[in-house]
């Protein structure tokens, strides 16, 4: 922070022999001899006239040694006018500060979905990095670099209560419940940063590629719970993948406190810079309308607040927000600074039929149904276009067609546990068949008007990977009894 002379020294020892070190600072090179000694000794390096403020790198290199050890360095000493106001960090952890972007919106918004696009530039995919795209009050969703060989997509939701470390101490009434997960996704507990339900999918995501993330929320005020589901769009397949769906207790609220962040989660390589681009943020409200989010405020964690690390920043580039942390560069943003990007007016188009796990899920559903048929725990008349059915009452009219408008009585329940999620009461309901789920459109073609049919609908022909309601989670086989009273062409 000041220019002028800087006197350097090393507190060093070599109990095994003598050695020589080379020290380089601002293109000035010094050589010093380290004598054999069991005690740390202060050895003067030299004086450098610091002409610029900001971060400077001191390179220390071993030139020669008379034993296996080169030297053990306890500290670097700095004296002189250039040390006035010098920034330093003596903590053992060497991680960069975590940095965040928070996306404000009206408190009156009833937000059921949060969409964000994330790109990691080439060279910014450092090991021990978590780039979080969709954060919310109860959880977080993004991509991670776990090692040189493994990368993950992570979606987690916090428990209720105040336990910070051990999930084994969390009461059942406070525990997040896993409802569903995608093919190959690992789901378990997490702790030590609050507790909750964790899910991850090992996936070799790439730099320079745009990844789309969607989190949905389905609150239920009656039970004071909210179902949070996380989906990632896989560009190589042009399909969405369900990561997981969790039911959070003591919630019953809409999506809130939306944010993104960069995290250096292991304190070993904070000297490497991390950078992420976040673009095209949208929220969907309860009435189905979408709203683009074009403002974001910058913040950082306790490491930044303590002044341990000051190399961080944020901004807008090419119509996207960006975050960076680490690398020992001068900061480019202040805590609380607000950034605004230009609207893209590119509303998300979520095609739920593009399910990356559809083939696997179909096989899984049919395996369950076929086992039940063989075990005679369910009875069927036959199948039509992938729908098992049983005629409960033979009709006298024509076969139903998908172009018909029907008047029906019906009851629907979950195959897995028999829970009835919907049914008609005293009066029938009417609707165009083509507006309903694919399973109804296909299965009812086996029923005549005046008849009654039972349909066993695989999840991909029902609501698929969507969280349709508080009673119908992702990947649910559904069963319907349907009595067709009339059909209008």
CATH code: domain of residue 34: 2.60.120.260
Residue 285 falls inside a structural domain = yes
Q: What angle do CA 345, 350, 353 make, to 5 degrees?
A: 155
Same domain, 321 and 365: no
Strand partners, 61: 22
Query: Quick count: other Cβ atoms within 10 Å of Cβ 17?
Result: 15
Dihedral sign for Cα 298, 302, 306, 310, please. Answer: negative
Dihedral sign for Cα 263, 269, 273, 275, please. Answer: negative
- Identify the domain boundary among 312, 340, 368: 340
Same domain, 250 and 376: no
Confidence of residue 92 (pLDDT cuts 50, 70, 90): confident
The pLDDT of residue 489 is above 90: no
At residue 460, φ and ψ (nearest 5 deg) are: -70, -15
Q: What is the rounded average pLDDT for all residues in the chain? A: 96
R_g (Cα) of the chain, nearest Å: 30
Residue found under tokens 């069963």: 479
Confidence of residue 88 (pLDDT cuts 50, 70, 90): confident
Helix (H, G, I), strand (E, B) or coil at 143: strand
Q: How many CA atoms lie within 13 A of 16 on its CB side?
A: 9
**Whether 127 contacts 147, CB under 8 Å:** yes
Helix (H, G, I), strand (E, B) or coil at 83: helix
Residue 323 falls inside a structural domain = yes
Residue 178 pLDDT: 97
- The residue-averaged pLDDT of 41-66 equals 95
Residue 303 pLDDT: 96
Same domain, 112 and 71: no
By DSSP bridging, strand 37-50 and strand 4-14 are: antiparallel
Residue 90 falls inside a structural domain = no
Same domain, 331 and 426: no
Same domain, 182 and 325: yes
Confidence of residue 116 (pLDDT cuts 50, 70, 90): very high
Same domain, 225 and 128: yes
The pLDDT of residue 89 is above 90: no
Same domain, 118 and 229: yes
CATH code: domain of residue 412: 3.10.50.40
Residue 436 pLDDT: 97
Can you spell out the DSSP letters for 253-303?
----S-EEEEEE-STT-TTS-EEEEEEEEEEEETTS-EEEE-EEEEEE-HH
Confidence of residue 127 (pLDDT cuts 50, 70, 90): very high
Query: Quick count: other Cβ atoms within 10 Å of Cβ 165?
Result: 11
Confidence of residue 192 (pLDDT cuts 50, 70, 90): confident
Residue 345 falls inside a structural domain = no
Nearest partner of 353 among 462, 235, 232, judged by Cα? 462
Strand partners, 100: 261, 299
CATH code: domain of residue 110: 2.60.120
| CA dist., res. 471 & res. 230, Å (int) | 18
**Whether 106 contacts 251, CB under 8 Å:** no
Residue 356 pLDDT: 97
Residue 349 falls inside a structural domain = no
Q: How many CA atoms lie within 13 A of 116 on its CB side?
A: 32
**Whether 241 contacts 298, CB under 8 Å:** no
Same domain, 483 and 434: yes
- The residue-averaged pLDDT of 304-323 equals 97
Strand partners, 101: 260, 298
Total domains, the chain? 3
Nearest partner of 241 among 260, 213, 271, judged by Cα? 213
The pLDDT of residue 193 is above 90: no
Same domain, 139 and 254: yes
Residue 333 falls inside a structural domain = yes
What is residue 448's DSSP assignment? B
What pTM, to 2 d.p., does this model score? Answer: 0.91
- The residue-averaged pLDDT of 330-345 equals 98
Q: Which two tokens stand for residue 120?
A: 């990691």
- Domain of residue 177 covers 99-340
Same domain, 42 and 124: no
For residue range 273-305, what is the model confidence (pLDDT) as tens digits?
999 999 999 999 999 999 999 999 999 999 999
Residue 353 falls inside a structural domain = no
Same domain, 178 and 251: yes
Same domain, 105 and 237: yes
Q: How many CA atoms lie within 13 A of 331 on its CB side?
A: 18
For residue range 217-236, what is the model confidence (pLDDT) as tens digits?
999 999 999 999 999 999 99
Residue 91 falls inside a structural domain = no
């Amino acid at each position: 922070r000041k220019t002028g002379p800087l006197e350097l020294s090393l507190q060093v020892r070599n109990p095994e022999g003598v050695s020589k070190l080379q020290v380089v600072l601002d293109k000035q090179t010094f050589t010093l001899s380290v004598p054999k000694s069991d005690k740390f000794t202060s050895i003067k390096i030299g004086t450098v006239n610091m002409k610029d403020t900001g971060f400077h790198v001191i390179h220390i290199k071993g030139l020669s040694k008379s034993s296996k050890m080169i030297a053990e360095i306890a500290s670097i000493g700095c004296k002189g006018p250039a040390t006035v106001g010098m920034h330093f960090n003596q903590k053992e952890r060497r991680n960069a500060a975590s940095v965040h972007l928070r996306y404000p919106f009206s408190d009156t918004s009833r937000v059921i979905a949060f969409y964000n696009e994330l790109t990691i530039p080439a060279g910014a995919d450092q090991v021990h990095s978590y780039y979080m795209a969709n954060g919310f009050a109860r959880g977080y969703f993004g991509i991670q670099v776990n090692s040189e060989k493994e990368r993950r997509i992570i979606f987690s939701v916090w428990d209720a209560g105040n336990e910070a470390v051990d999930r084994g101490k969390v009461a059942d009434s406070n525990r997040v419940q896993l409802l569903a997960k995608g093919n190959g996704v690992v789901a378990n507990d997490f702790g030590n940063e609050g507790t909750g339900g964790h899910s991850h999918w090992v996936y070799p995501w790439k730099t320079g590629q745009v990844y789309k993330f969607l989190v949905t929320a389905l609150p239920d005020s009656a039970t004071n719970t909210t179902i949070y589901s996380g989906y990632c769009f896989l560009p190589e397949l042009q399909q969405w993948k369900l990561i997981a769906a969790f039911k959070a207790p003591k919630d019953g609220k809409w999506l809130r406190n939306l944010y993104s962040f960069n995290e250096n989660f292991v304190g070993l390589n904070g000297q490497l810079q991390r950078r992420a681009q976040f673009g095209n943020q949208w929220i969907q409200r309860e009435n189905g309308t979408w709203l683009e989010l074009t403002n974001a405020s910058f913040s950082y964690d306790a490491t930044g607040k303590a002044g341990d690390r000051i190399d961080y920043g944020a901004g807008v580039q090419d119509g996207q927000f960006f975050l960076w942390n680490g690398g020992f560069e001068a900061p480019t943003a202040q805590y609380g600074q607000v950034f605004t990007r230009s609207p893209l007016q590119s509303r998300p188009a979520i095609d739920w039929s593009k399910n990356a796990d559809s083939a696997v899920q179909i096989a899984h559903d049919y395996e369950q149904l076929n086992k039940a048929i063989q075990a005679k725990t369910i009875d069927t008349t036959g199948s039509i276009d992938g729908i098992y059915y049983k005629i409960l009452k033979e009709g006298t009219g024509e076969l139903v067609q998908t172009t018909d408008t029907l008047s029906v009585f019906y009851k629907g329940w979950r195959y897995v546990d028999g829970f009835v999620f919907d049914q008609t009461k005293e009066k029938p309901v009417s609707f165009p068949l083509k507006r309903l789920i694919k399973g109804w459109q296909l299965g009812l073609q086996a029923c005549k008007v005046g008849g009654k049919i039972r349909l066993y609908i695989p999840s991909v022909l029902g609501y698929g990977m969507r969280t349709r309601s508080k009673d119908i989670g992702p990947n649910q086989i559904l069963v319907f009894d349907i009595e067709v009273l009339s059909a209008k062409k």
